[in-house]
Amino acid sequence: MPGFPEIRPRRLRRTPALRRLVAETVVSPSQLVLPLFVAEDATEPREISSMPGVVQHTRDSLKKAATDAVEAGLGGVMLFGLPAEKDPIGSGAIDPHGILNVAISDVISEVGDQLTVMADLCLDEFTDHGHCGVLDPDGWVDNDRTIEIYGQMAVAQAAAGVDLVAPSGMMDGQVGMIRQALDDGEHSDVGIMAYSAKYSSAFFGPFREAVNSSLKGDRKTYQQDPANGREGVREAQLDVAEGADIVMVKPAMSYLDVVSAVRAAVDVPVAAYNISGEYSMVEAAAANGWIDRDTAIVEVLTSIRRAGADIVLTYWALDAADLLTR
């Protein structure tokens, strides 16, 4: 039949220029945040075997990485501190001279306000039992004692110069306690990016190596059940009510439905964390020649943005910035 079919969407896919022109979703380096690990006892950057291309930094190499992030046009960095010594209450987290707090100061002194400097606010890297909070006599994580320490940790990070604190422990009331502690400590200008919907995921495995985790067992009594989507929205709404400036869904790839639902439910920016296991799966498949690495990176990040994330935390941030600006 002449002229059939009348509707031909393929016309707008014909050339790269046409595809760029009508793209519904854009990924920009300024929307990407690079997680960085800094180890107190490192004398040179240490490779993380399960995360090819990612290292535990020294304080000096961390500053270089922050400078690279500025030059790449990234939106920010998320800092994780790995102490040389741990104890049951994670006291290194509130020590002004602890590795995370000095790392914040190092990065701020290196890049100033050219980069948004964020810091993970949790005790798991600092406790000898590896849980995200202090334990009661029966070995359960004590929610209310833990969030009191989170408040102190937030003030210590604010004093070091952080732009955004990022509570990731999934304790009830953590955002409200942190907001109060920051305001009482005259740090009302410091924002909170809450890990609001953080799931107990199998894809965190490589991260455990990255942070020298001491954890035995799991975190299922405080991180969310992967079966629950509505609960993730509820958690995000609670965090907004308590004063969160940004809410986050973690992991990203297996929870794109939650990213979308949270985006529809709140009126603050939404972040999503493209986590270690997601990174490592793509890297392993690419190393075996099963997929094209560069194309897969852009596709993964595009899917997270398409689901509604305004901000994406990803270990590919530097690689992606290069790919996106070619």
The model's confidence at residue 326, banded by pLDDT at 50, 70 and 90, is: confident
Position 46, amino acid? R
Instruction: Reply yes or no on whether the pLDDT at 27 is more than 80.
Output: yes
Annotation marks residue 216 as catalytic: no
Cα gap 17→11, rounded to integer Å: 12
Question: Which residue in this structure is represented by tokens 């059940």?
Answer: 225
**What are 109-122's pLDDT values in tens digits?**
999 999 999 999 99
Helix H, strand E, coil C: the string for 264-310 is: HHCCCCEEEEECHHHHHHHHHHHHCCCCCHHHHHHHHHHHHHHHCCC
Annotation marks residue 198 as catalytic: yes
**Average pLDDT value for residue range 2-25:** 90
- Domains of the chain in start order, with CATH, are 25-324 (3.20.20.70)
**What are 234-278's pLDDT values in tens digits?**
999 999 999 999 999 999 999 999 999 999 999 999 999 999 999
The residues, any chain, with a CB within 8 Å of residue 124's CB and separated by 6 or more, are 90, 130, 131, 132, 169, 211, 213, 215
User: Residue 2: what pLDDT?
Assistant: 66
Cα gap 211→125, rounded to integer Å: 6
What is the CB-side half-sphere exposure of residue 297 using CA atoms within 13 A? Answer: 20
DSSP 169: S
The radius of gyration computed from the CA coordinates of the chain, to the nearest angstrom, equals 20
User: Residue 66: what pLDDT?
Assistant: 98
Say which of 63, 64, 86, 198 is annotated catalytic: 198
Q: Which of 256, 272, 273, 261 is nearest to 237 (CA)?
A: 261
Can you read off the two tokens belonging to residue 123? 């005790």
Q: Which of 186, 191, 308 is nearest to 243 (CA)?
A: 191
Mean pLDDT, the chain, as a whole number? Answer: 95
- Estimate to the nearest angstrom the gap between the alpha carbon of 244 and the chain centroid: 15
The residues, any chain, with a CB within 8 Å of residue 16's CB and separated by 6 or more, are none
Residues 201-211 as b/e (b if ≥16 CB within 10 A, e otherwise) read bebbebbebbb
Instruction: Reply yes or no on whether the pLDDT at 70 is more than 90.
Output: yes
Cα gap 102→85, rounded to integer Å: 15
Cα gap 172→150, rounded to integer Å: 12
**What are 285-298's pLDDT values in tens digits?**
999 999 999 999 99
Selected residue with higher pLDDT from 229 and 221:
229
Residue spans of alpha helices (H) in the chain: 16-21, 59-71, 99-111, 143-160, 174-184, 205-210, 230-242, 256-265, 276-287, 293-307, 317-324
User: Residue 69: what pLDDT?
Assistant: 98
Cα gap 314→301, rounded to integer Å: 8
Structure-derived torsion over alpha carbons of residues 101, 105, 110, 113, reported in degrees to the nearest 10: 110
**What are 132-168's pLDDT values in tens digits?**
899 999 989 999 999 999 999 999 999 999 999 999 9
The residues, any chain, with a CB within 8 Å of residue 17's CB and separated by 6 or more, are none
Instruction: Reply yes or no on whether the pLDDT at 3 is more than 80.
Output: no
The model's confidence at residue 1, banded by pLDDT at 50, 70 and 90, is: low
**Average pLDDT value for residue range 193-200:** 96
Position 48, amino acid? I
